[in-house]
């Protein structure tokens, strides 16, 4: 039960830390909105040339229609295939893509494992008879699991090598950058070793997911930690789940707020509305910037600074 207890604890930490990050984000003071066009929730015709609903005559009298399809068409390639890095730095993309896509495939595999366990629970457990859905899930788990593990190991080693050997990356790499990649590599390499030497069909992973949902009930006589590599994979995967939302690696899901609350936030600032109230609140904040020309000494508010004459040199 020790493995299961560790996983339960780490899942709880993941949920708690993620909820806190989201709460912290949505309660921060209103940001300086970028309104970088094209804003992807515009209609396809406007987004094609970077247009905006502000072009319309008397736009404030009309309902602004948003396009979820256009957002997804932009965000999915960016998230899944790191399109921005492909355009800007092709050599780094070649190793960053397998690393990230390997992680995504392992997340997908985890989801498939949960669904697989639910299908078994809905069948005649403990016999767990086969069926079309279960057979399909068995195949998908093997495909996504193996592909994710291979890509993840290639990407982890590639990123470590590139950060260490290329001066422009090494100069900007901190201890935490190396530690994070090594931590993830520990999971990838241990899980791959377990699959190669003891569990090529990932039966143990299916049984462990089943045990998580049932409080430790065995499946096909499997007990977690039957191999050293399998035990390390379970521990490292559990700890990673708890660790990721505590670090900057949480950008994989917190990126939502960057797009929707900063880059694409073109909501109307109406008199007496929520945005105006938030701006008025920001004007009362007292900055402590060290730039002398701003004269932000921690006593003056933004309202005072903005309404006074610039400080003479």
Residue 297 belongs to domain spanning? 274-307
Q: How confident is the model at residue 180 (pLDDT cuts 50, 70, 90)?
A: very high
- Given a cut of 60, whether residue 76 has pLDDT beyond it is yes
- Tell me how far the alpha carbon of residue 54 is from its chain's centroid: 32
Query: Is there a single domain that holds both residue 143 and residue 240?
Result: yes
Contacts of 292 (CB under 8 A, 6+ apart): 311
Query: Is there a single domain that holds both residue 296 and residue 173?
Result: no
Q: How confident is the model at residue 129 (pLDDT cuts 50, 70, 90)?
A: low
Query: Is there a single domain that holds both residue 108 and residue 251?
Result: yes
- Given a cut of 60, whether residue 252 has pLDDT beyond it is yes
**Residue 263 CA neighbour count, 13 Å, CB half:** 14
Q: Tell me, what's the pLDDT at 220?
A: 72
Domain-located, residue 127: yes
The total of structural domains in the chain comes to 2
Query: Is there a single domain that holds both residue 135 and residue 200?
Result: yes
Query: Is there a single domain that holds both residue 189 and residue 140?
Result: yes
Q: Tell me, what's the pLDDT at 256?
A: 86
Query: Is there a single domain that holds both residue 204 and residue 99?
Result: yes
Query: Is there a single domain that holds both residue 242 and residue 280?
Result: no
Rounded to the nearest integer, the mean pLDDT of the chain is: 89
Contact 178, 184 (CB under 8 A): no
- Of the two residues 291 and 256, the one the predictor is more confident about is 256
Query: Is there a single domain that holds both residue 12 and residue 132?
Result: yes
Q: Tell me, what's the pLDDT at 195?
A: 95
Calpha distance 114→54 (Å, rounded): 46
Domain-located, residue 145: yes
- Given a cut of 90, whether residue 64 has pLDDT beyond it is no
Tell which residue, 16, 187, 38, 193, has the closest CA to residue 99. Answer: 187
The per-residue DSSP string of the chain comes to -HHHHHHHHHHHHHHHHHHHHHHHHHTSPPP----PSSPTTS-HHHHTTT--GGGSTTGGGSPPP--HHHHHHHHHHHHHH-HHHHHH-HHHHHHHHHHHHHHHHHHHHHHHHHHHHHHHHTSSTTT----HHHHHHHHHHHHHHHHHHHHHHHHHHHHHHHHHH-HHHHTT--HHHHHHHHHHHHHHHHHHHHHHHT-TT-HHHHHHHHHHHHTS--STT--TTSSHHHHHHHHHHHHHHHHGGGSGGGHHHHHHHHIIIIIS------TTSHHHHHHHHHHT-------TTTT--SSS-HHHHHHSPPPP-
Q: What is the CATH number of the domain that holds 152?
A: 1.20.950.20
pLDDT tens for each residue of 260-294: 888 888 888 888 999 999 999 999 999 888 777 77
Query: Is there a single domain that holds both residue 287 and residue 254?
Result: no
Q: Tell me, what's the pLDDT at 128?
A: 56
Tell which residue, 194, 279, 201, has the closest CA to residue 236. Answer: 194
Mean pLDDT across 60-71: 86
Contact 4, 215 (CB under 8 A): yes
Mean pLDDT across 29-52: 82
Calpha distance 256→78 (Å, rounded): 12
Mean pLDDT across 127-150: 87
Q: Tell me, what's the pLDDT at 126?
A: 53
Query: Is there a single domain that holds both residue 107 and residue 175?
Result: yes
Query: Is there a single domain that holds both residue 248 and residue 291?
Result: no
Q: How confident is the model at residue 124 (pLDDT cuts 50, 70, 90)?
A: low
- pTM comes to 0.85
Q: Tell me, what's the pLDDT at 87?
A: 92
**Residue 21 CA neighbour count, 13 Å, CB half:** 20
Q: How confident is the model at residue 239 (pLDDT cuts 50, 70, 90)?
A: very high
Domain-located, residue 65: no
Query: Is there a single domain that holds both residue 143 and residue 258?
Result: yes
- Which has the minimum average pLDDT: 64-73, 144-153, 154-163, 183-192? 64-73
b/e code 276-286 from CB counts within 10 Å (16+ = b): eeeeeeeeeee
- Of the two residues 41 and 10, the one the predictor is more confident about is 10
Mean pLDDT across 225-244: 92
């Amino acid at each position: 039960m020790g493995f299961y207890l560790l996983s339960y604890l780490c899942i709880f930490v993941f949920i708690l830390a993620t909820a806190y990050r989201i709460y912290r984000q949505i309660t921060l003071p209103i940001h300086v909105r970028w309104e970088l066009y094209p804003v992807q929730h515009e209609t396809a015709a406007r987004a094609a040339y970077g247009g905006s609903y502000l072009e319309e005559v008397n736009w404030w009298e009309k309902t602004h229609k948003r396009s979820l399809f256009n957002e997804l068409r932009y965000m999915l390639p960016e998230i899944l295939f790191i399109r921005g890095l492909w355009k800007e730095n092709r050599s780094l993309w070649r190793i960053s893509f397998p690393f990230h896509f390997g992680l995504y495939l392992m997340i997908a595999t985890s989801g498939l494992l949960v669904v697989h366990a639910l299908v078994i629970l809905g069948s005649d457990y403990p016999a767990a008879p086969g069926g079309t859905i279960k057979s399909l899930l068995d195949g998908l788990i093997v495909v996504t699991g193996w592909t994710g593990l291979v890509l993840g190991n290639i990407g982890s080693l590639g990123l470590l090598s590139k950060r260490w050997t290329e001066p422009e990356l090494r100069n900007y790499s901190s201890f935490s950058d190396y530690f994070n990649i090594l931590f993830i590599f520990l999971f990838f390499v241990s899980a791959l070793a377990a699959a190669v030497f003891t569990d090529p069909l990932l039966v143990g992973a299916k049984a462990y997911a089943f045990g998580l949902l049932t409080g430790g009930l065995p499946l096909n006589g499997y007990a977690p930690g039957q191999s050293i590599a399998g035990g390390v994979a379970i521990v490292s995967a559990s700890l990673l789940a708890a660790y990721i939302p505590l670090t900057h690696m949480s950008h994989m899901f917190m990126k939502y707020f960057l797009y929707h609350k900063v880059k694409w936030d073109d909501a109307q600032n109406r008199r007496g509305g929520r945005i105006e109230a938030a701006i008025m609140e920001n004007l009362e904040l007292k900055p402590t910037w060290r730039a002398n020309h701003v004269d932000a000494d921690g006593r003056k508010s933004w309202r005072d600074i903005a309404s006074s004459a610039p400080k003479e040199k």
